[in-house]
Every structure is written in structure tokens, then in C-alpha cells.
Amino acid sequence: MAEATSTPPASGLVARFKQVLHGLGTDLLMIMLGVVAVRGYAPHAEWLTFMLAITVMMAMAATSSWRRGFRLGFWFGVGHYGWGFYWLINSLHGHGGLPLPGALAMLLGLAAIIGLYTGLFGALLGRMGPGSVWFLLGGPSLWAFAEWLRSWVFSGFPWNLAGYVWDGQLQILQVAELVGVYGLSWLAIWGPAVAVWWWFQPSDVRINRLLWAGPLVVVPLVMVHLYGGVRIVTLDALPKEPGEPLRVALVQPNIPQHEKWDRKLRQQNLDIHFKLSEAIKGPVDLLVWPETALTFFYHREFPFLMRFNRLLQKMNTTATVGAPVVMPAQEGDKKYFNSLLVFDKGNMVPSRRYDKHHLVPFGEYLPFRGIIPDSITKFTQGSSDFSTGPGPQVMSFAKGALGPLICYEAIFPGEVAALGRQGAKWLLNVTN
């Protein structure tokens, strides 16, 4: 009587080991594709490289289970955003003084969080059927939806949107006035979606469908390009507004972060701002000092107010100055704001104020402050969190309303557009 046999445990381990190696190899490929796709952004602006990398990722995710599709999209996102956000190392470590290991950990952590959105894209992509019309239309729409989602969930972080690969393509960029940056992202994913759709057609009709695939990619690009060309010509033909152009003087003191908030260097740093301002030649309409140019509460520093007023009278101009502002709150508490102040010549106090409303998580405030121990503070200067301002709002100015944006508020498309709807003629973005 023959005895039943089973696979030796060693063989099972070898098979499992090979499976793990195969998975790691695929993960590494996705990371590399994500890194390569960064070439699509400025200064390289190689939009075709971006599309080729996206095409490979989409082709692999299109026939995967939702679990594997999520994994493919996630590792693509980790590579793409980990490499694309490289500048955060210099910002956090070089300027912010955060130890290098901590800066690297924050970069990778952020890349992993943003990678969840590309993971969502990969997980749902395979549910559409790669050879179907649903895939053709749904792929670009799903990517654009994931980008819109990450622009507001947990405060949002819409850096490196796919629509930015069209940087330098002036005619294509004009369509943003109709569809916004998310529409440009849709257009960037359309070509890869068509390529994957064509590849997964039945072999007996693939050649015939190629006659469809080419025009499907080319015709929308040509139409958008033609629209942009006509729009540019139309705008150039409009009559120019009479009057002098806006003359702006931007003061950049280039003070290291660890010195900027040093109380012992406060007067020295302030003198640098004044020296640069006093060296400006010729009349200017607007003098701009950067975000938190003042590291103190202006209303408590009468000597500064007098000196600054004399400067504006001498220059015969208006100035905007970044400064922290403290306001009383309920039950004797205080609220702190990261503000932009407008000083008119002859006035000792600011006539207008804008409070930053879209704050940087962990940099300007700690999310979920109510459940986080007080011993944990944000990684930038100061132990108290900033409070949020009321939202986008324009500021009156003699040569047209200013649309103020403080630091990374400029990356939120809807909020910038809101300033335009409120009548802003000029966008003013100050940063630290």
C-alpha cells in the first residue's frame, strides 16, 4: 500500500523565498519608476519621461488584484515623492536645524503618506478592466481624483501634481483657466491610459485598434494646443492698461534660521532689513519684507515703529511686513497668528492685516493637539501653535488689490483662485 507524500518543508521555504524576492524586485522597480517620473517636473520638464514611467506602472497595476495594485502604486509613490520632495532635507536640516536623521525620517514618512494616494489609484485601477472604455476614461479621472483628495485631507499637501509636467508648454497651460490644474493632470495621464488600453486589446484586433489609439492621444493634445495658441494671441491683442507699471522692491536678508530667532541677534537682523531697504534706488510702489521678518510683536516695539515710519516716508511708499501677531482669546488665553501687515507711509500702525489660514502641520501647529501631550511641540521655533486665519482675502492697495499668500499657501489651487474671484489684481507670496 503506497503511503501519501507531502512537499518537504524546505521546498516550501524556497518557493516562499523566491516569491518574496520577486515581490521585492517588483517593489524596487516601482520605486525606480517613481524616481524616473520626477524628470517630468521643472527644471527638466521631460513630460514624455513622466508618461512612460506612469504607463509601465499602470500596465502592471491594471491586471493585478487590488492588494497587489495598491502595493505597486504605493511604492511608485514612495519613489516619486521621496525623490521629488528632496528639497525638504535642505529645508528641514540645512535651514531648520533638524538633525539629518530626523529630516530623512520626515521625508520618507511624508512620501509614504502621499504614496497612499497612488496606492489607492493602483488598487482601483485593476477593477476597471484594462481593455475597456471604463479604463480609458476612468484611469485619468481616478488619478485626478486622488490628487484632489490629497489637496485637502489632513490639511492637504498638493505638491508635484501631474499637471505640473506641462511646465514650459505655454499653449497647453492656457486650458487651466477652464479645467484647473487637475484637468491638466487628467491630460497628463490620458496618454498612458490610452497606451495601456491599446496593449490589452485582444491580439486579433490590436493592430486595428492602433488606428484608434494614435488619434485618441494626439487629437486632444492638438485641440488643447490650438486653444492655447488662440488664447495667447487674443490676450496679446487686448489693449494695455494705461499708467505706470507696478514697481516692487523685495527685501531678502538671507538670515539663517538658527540666527533669525536668536534674541541676542534681533537688532542685528532688523538692521539688515533696514540697510537693504535704504539701499533701494529709485521710487517704488510697494516695499516687501518676507514672512516673519519681525520676530517680535510689533505693537510692543515703539522704536521700531518710529524707525519704520521714517523709512516709508523717505521712500514715499507702502510696505508689507511678515510678523507674528498675538490676540486675546476666551478665558484669558491668547491666539497667535502668522500675519502679513500693510503699513502706509505716515502711519505708525498697520492699516491692513492678513492672517495665514492654511498652516503647515507639525511646523506651525500640531494636528490633534487635544490628544497630544503638551511635552510634544512642533519642530519649528516657538512652543505655542499658530491659529488659523479666516481664509483667503484680498487687501486694498492703490494700484490694485493684493492677493496675499504666505509660504506654501500658494500651492493650493482653489485658494489661489478664490483670491482672483475676490478681485485680486496682484498675487503676493511671501516666504520664510
| Closest of 13, 46, 18 to residue 168, by C-alpha | 46
What pLDDT is attached to residue 144? Answer: 97
HSE (side-chain half, CA atoms, 13 Å) at 395: 24
Task: Note whether 324 and 297 are within 8 A (CB).
Answer: yes
Separation between Cα atoms, residue 263 and residue 339, nearest integer Å: 20
Residue 109 to residues 78, 347, 380, Cα–Cα distance (Å): 9, 47, 18
**Terminus-to-terminus CA distance in the chain, angstroms?**
83
- Taking the CB of residue 29, how many other CB atoms lie within 10 A of it? 17
pTM: 0.86
For residue 380, the model assigns a pLDDT of: 63
What pLDDT does residue 382 have? Answer: 60
The three cell numbers of residue 77 are 509613490
pLDDT over 80 (residue 281): yes
Single-letter amino acid code for the residue at 135: F
Is the pLDDT at 51 greater than 60? The verdict is yes
- For the residues 369-383, what does the mean pLDDT come to? 61
Q: What is the mean pLDDT of residues 152-161?
A: 89
How does residue 334 score in pLDDT terms, banded at 50, 70 and 90?
A: confident
Instruction: Using a pLDDT cut of 70, give the percent of the chain over it.
Output: 90
**Mean pLDDT across the chain, nearest whole number?**
89
Q: Is the pLDDT of residue 20 over 80?
A: no
Say how far apart CA 74 and CA 312 lie, in whole Å. Answer: 53
Percent of the chain with pLDDT over 90: 67
Q: Which residues on adjacent β-strands are paired with residue 328?
A: 334
The pLDDT tens digits for 226-248 are: 999 999 999 999 888 777 789 99
C-alpha cell at position 374: 503638551
What band does 372 get if pLDDT is binned at 50, 70 and 90?
low
Residue 186 has pLDDT above 80, yes or no: yes
Mean pLDDT of 102-120: 94
Q: Helix/strand/coil (H, E, C) string of the chain? A: CCCCCCCCHHHHHHHHHHHHHHHHHHHHHHHHHHHHHHHHCCCCCCHHHHHHHHHHHHHHHHCCCHHHHHHHHHHHHHHHHHHHCCHHHHHHHHHCCCCHHHHHHHHHHHHHHHHHHHHHHHHHHHHHCCCCHHHHHHHHHHHHHHHHHHCCHHHCCCCCCHHHHHCCCHHHHCCHHHHHHHHHHHHHHHHHHHHHHHHCCCCCCHHHHHHHHHHHHHHHHHHHHHHHHHHHHHHHHCCCCCCCCCCEEECCCCCCHHHHCCHHHHHHHHHHHHHHHHCCCCCCCEEECCCCCCCCCHHHCHHHHHHHHHHHHHHCCEEEEEEEEEEECHHHCEEEEEEEEEECCCCCCCCEEEECCCCCECCCECCCHHHCCCCCCCCCCCCCCCCCCCCCCCECCCCCCEEEEEHHHHHCHHHHHHHHHCCCCEEEEECC
C-alpha distance from residue 394 to each of 40, 141, 242, 339 (Å): 34, 33, 23, 13
88 pLDDT tier (thresholds 50, 70, 90): confident
Q: Is the pLDDT of residue 10 over 60?
A: no
Q: What was the pLDDT predicted at 428?
A: 97
Contact 430, 292 (CB under 8 A): no
According to the model, what pLDDT value does residue 373 have? 61
Give the amino acid at 34: G
Length of the chain: 432
User: Is the confidence at residue 374, as pLDDT, over 90?
Assistant: no
C-alpha cell at 264: 541676542
Bridge partner residues of 403 (DSSP):
427
Q: What is the pLDDT of residue 154?
A: 79
Instruction: Retrieve residue 376's grid coordinates.
Output: 510634544
Residues 225 and 243: beta-carbon distance below 8 Å: no
- Say if residues 158 and 145 touch (Cβ distance below 8 Å): no
Check whether 13 has a pLDDT greater than 60: no
* Whether residue 46 has pLDDT greater than 90: yes
Cell of 143: 488619478
Of the pLDDT bands very low, low, confident and very high (cuts 50, 70, 90), residue 348 is confident
Alpha-carbon distances, residue 41 vs 84, 89, 144, 224, 317 (angstroms): 9, 18, 17, 20, 38
